[in-house]
Amino acid sequence: MTRKAIHAYQAGNHIEALKQVEKAREAGMLSVELLEIGAQSALATGDLNRALQFIEAVIHQAGATVQRAMFYGDLLTRLGRLQAAADVFQQVIRQQDANPIAWKGLANCLFKAGDWERARAAYSAVVERAPKDLEAKAFLANCILKTGASGGAAAILADVVRDAPDYAMAGVWYAEALRRSGRVEEAIPYLERWESHAEVGGLAKRLLVACWMSIEDYEPVQSVLEPLIRSNPDDPELMILHARWLAVEGQRDESQSVMKRMLKHHPDQFGAWSPYLDTCKQPLDGEMAAMLFDACSRAEQRSDLRDKGAMYFAVARQHQLAGNRDAEMQALVSANRAMAKLSPSDTHKNAGYGQRIIRCYPSSVISANDADDTAFAPVFILALPRSGTTLLEQALGRHHATVGAGEAGFASEAWHAVTGNWAIISNPESHEKLDAKGLEKFRGAFLSAVSKAGLDQGKIMIHKGINNHKIAGLLAAAFPKARFVALSRSPLDVAYGCFRQNFEFQPFSFTVEGIASEIATYQRNVQWWQQQLGETRLYSTRYEALVDDFEGELRALLAWLDLPWDKNCMDFARASRVGTASMNQVREGVFTTAVNKVSDYGDLFSPFAEALKQEGVIL
């Protein structure tokens, strides 16, 4: 029986091997060798519990060699007995610290348990001992993505994808790291490559939908999202995407209903609480409020900083709705502290980059490149986050002679075509080296991206990219017919709007100093562009004036653009498709309640006022 079992096992006939092992058991001839064959064959046939019984019998009779312990730990991991598996791998590590496979077994247990920090440390140990283990590198990067800066995760995964281009999961994780780093346009091609893959295609499609909505590319969303929802109607992540899509489509009540139903069944979908609360006009009732605070307590115990930050932002919104300003600010401090640790930002370095970039485009450079003979005459809105850009872009975009482009990343895509680098606002060297030939290439790539997006180049494109004020000179030089609208708002109201919003792609917003520096940068940039562009190309207005006399301000702006009045501009709230952080506000139309919002907070906002003054910001 032993020979028959060995022969069947070696031939890959695991079912026959198991039959021979059972016959030996019945005959009382079950040796350690047969037990090991039984364990391996049971694993091969997917009978994990039976395999576990065999290997436990082997260890009981013959002791636990390293190889047997590793097999035992792997089985326990597969069966979800993670603590027991971790104990086994740790025993092996105590005997053989240099064993990368034991460290990897431990890391896999911790990863499945959601203990990202300890899993990160264990995968780091694997990579130290086995530098060529690309799978360990990929999982290490995924842990970093959950617990640290997404840029660091992207850097590791870029190497993995380069060395193993057919590693599907690494490709999708790389795309997610790019997306969370704000490099959405870079992420999309990787996701499109893997969206039909049997193992990771579903995840790739979900991330694609999230990418498209974040850059307001709505055309492909419905065709991809609806089949996913039909196949998995109760999947919480898909329900979140569905709710976001309903909100984009203006179906606010339906969106809120889907999100509430999902949260009642899946309260640990931490990232969903804040967008749900943003749709609420009143604080949550007793049951939902209790679920919110319980979920926040659970998130606090986790090592995932993104979950912690998301829940504290949600709790802050609950306190805001309840009128508890002190508790709101305490929650916001906790939320931003977590996110600042996740996505650190070097305020002084970024400000230095910005100054170097704008100085590359004085009026002499801008006017030297006015040979463009295309009809393309875009309007670029220059503004800080939470300054009313969505309100203005949506209103202008309703004019019969214009087309709204939202925050589409045409400039980044064109910059990548010219320089091979997507970092258009943090790569001053490329701006300093840009010549006429490079500028012409940028113009062509930009127009190609606009065309690919399906926008009518015969109409005036309205674009509200949040970094437009940092690259206005490049845009002005590339498109001599382009005009610019500087939309400013009270610095303290901007500071409040940024601090209470989870802007993961804008890490400056997570610290008082970062916000103050960004506002100061905007004011300096606008002053510079006023000098370089003049009144014929740059129009200045304020959010406060816009909401106070919306039609009057809009008429004046349209007249400056040489456009006739169009009453459709006043109907933007009903007709708008918005997927950014302003989606709920723009649905409400024009309102003045957000003006001087910080006056409600008294001394709670004094750190912002002091930081702004230190930056030389005019309050």
In the chain, CATH 1.25.40.10 covers 2-129, 160-342
In this structure, what are the phi and psi dihedrals at residue 207, rounded to the nearest 5 degrees? -70, -35
Q: What is the pLDDT of residues 293-307, one digit of tens each?
A: 999 999 999 878 889
Two structure tokens written together for 346: 């070097």
- Is beta strand 483-488 parallel, antiparallel or unpaired with respect to 379-382? parallel
Percent of the chain with pLDDT strictly greater than 90 = 71
pLDDT value for 133 = 96
Q: Give the model's confidence band at 330: pLDDT under 50 very low, under 70 low, under 90 confident, else very high.
A: very high
pLDDT value for 571 = 81
Report how far apart, in Å, the C-alpha atoms of 48 and of each of 11, 34, 44, 72, 102 are: 21, 17, 9, 11, 20
pLDDT value for 311 = 97
Task: Tell me which of 374 and 604 has the higher pLDDT.
Answer: 604
Q: What is the pLDDT of residues 452-482, one digit of tens each?
A: 888 887 899 999 989 999 999 999 999 999 9
For residue 370, pLDDT over 80 is answered with no
pLDDT value for 573 = 60
In the chain, CATH 3.40.50.300 covers 356-614
Q: What CATH number was assigned to the domain covering residues 2-129?
A: 1.25.40.10
Of 121, 160, 116, nearest to 137 (Cα)?
160
Average pLDDT for 11-35: 87
Average pLDDT for 133-148: 92
Q: State the DSSP H helix or E strand holding residue 317, giving kind and residue range, or none if neither.
A: helix 305-322
Of 58, 117, 110, 67, nearest to 87 (Cα)?
110
What torsion do the CA atoms of 566, 567, 571, 575 make, to the nearest 10 degrees?
Answer: -50
What is the CATH architecture assignment of 160-342? Answer: Alpha Horseshoe (1.25)
Average pLDDT for 587-610: 70
For residue 506, pLDDT over 70 is answered with yes
Distance CA(231)–CA(234), nearest Å, equals: 9
Q: What is the pLDDT of residues 240-250, one digit of tens each?
A: 999 999 988 88
Q: What is the pLDDT of residues 150-203, one digit of tens each?
A: 888 999 999 999 999 999 999 999 999 999 887 888 899 999 999 999 999 999
The answer to which of 32-41, 118-127, 312-321 has the lowest mean pLDDT is 32-41
The answer to which of 346-350, 483-487, 587-591 has the lowest mean pLDDT is 587-591
What is the CATH architecture assignment of 356-614? Answer: 3-Layer(aba) Sandwich (3.40)
Q: What is the pLDDT of residues 229-265, one digit of tens each?
A: 999 999 999 999 999 999 888 888 999 999 999 999 9
Two structure tokens written together for 380: 């670029």
Average pLDDT for 589-613: 75
Q: Tell me what percent of the chain is helix, strand and coil, each rounded to the nearest 5.
A: 70, 5, 30
Compute the mean pLDDT over every residue in the chain, rounded to the nearest whole number: 90
For residue 207, pLDDT over 50 is answered with yes
Two structure tokens written together for 71: 């097999």
DSSP secondary structure letters along 325-386: HHHHHHHHHHHHHHHHHHS---HHHHHHHHHHHHTT--HHHHHTT----S----EEEE--TT
Q: Give the model's confidence band at 436: pLDDT under 50 very low, under 70 low, under 90 confident, else very high.
A: very high
Q: What is the pLDDT of residues 70-109, one digit of tens each?
A: 999 999 999 999 999 999 999 999 999 999 999 999 999 9
